[in-house]
Amino acid sequence: MNGRLTTSLEVEQKIIELQKLLKLSTKASVIRIALGLSLKSKEDPRKVYNEKNNDHGGGSYQRITITGDYDELYRALLIEQLNKEVDDTELFPELFNAHISRGINALYDEYQLKGNYDKVLDSIFELI
């Protein structure tokens, strides 16, 4: 099992900016919100955010840093969203990274649209 993923440079820059804008203590917190947003869509995120197109120039994250004590829950959520069983090599880093990329871009776009902290938080709670 691969226990590490690397984001694209663009996604990493957005994670850093969102962490500051949302006043979150860790980048993992931003990533978890992004995963939740991405899971709202029924489309497979790999259709747009394919691992082959990832420049791997961003941050490197251990699986445990993202999922913590809830690894099995995240695994179940990602499998449920796809509506098919996937093996661990496909799940992490490939599927996780695609969800992170899609979710970060959605969260970043939402921040750009709303323009302030309170409106973005309200919007996040509405979206999730």
pLDDT digits (tens, 9 = 90+) for 27-61: 999 999 999 999 999 999 999 998 888 999 999 99
Q: What is the pTM of this model?
A: 0.90
Before 45, cis peptide (omega within 30)?
A: no
The CATH number that domain 4-127 falls under is: 1.10.1220
CA angle 34, 39, 45 (to 5 degrees): 90
**How is residue 51 written in tokens?**
């691992």
65-73 mean pLDDT: 94
Q: How far is Cα 89 from Cα 71, in angstroms, rounded to an integer?
A: 14
pLDDT averaged over the chain? Answer: 90
Nearest to 51 by CA among 89, 88, 94: 94
Q: How far is Cα 72 from Cα 66, in angstroms, rounded to an integer?
A: 12
Residue recorded with tokens 């500051």: 20
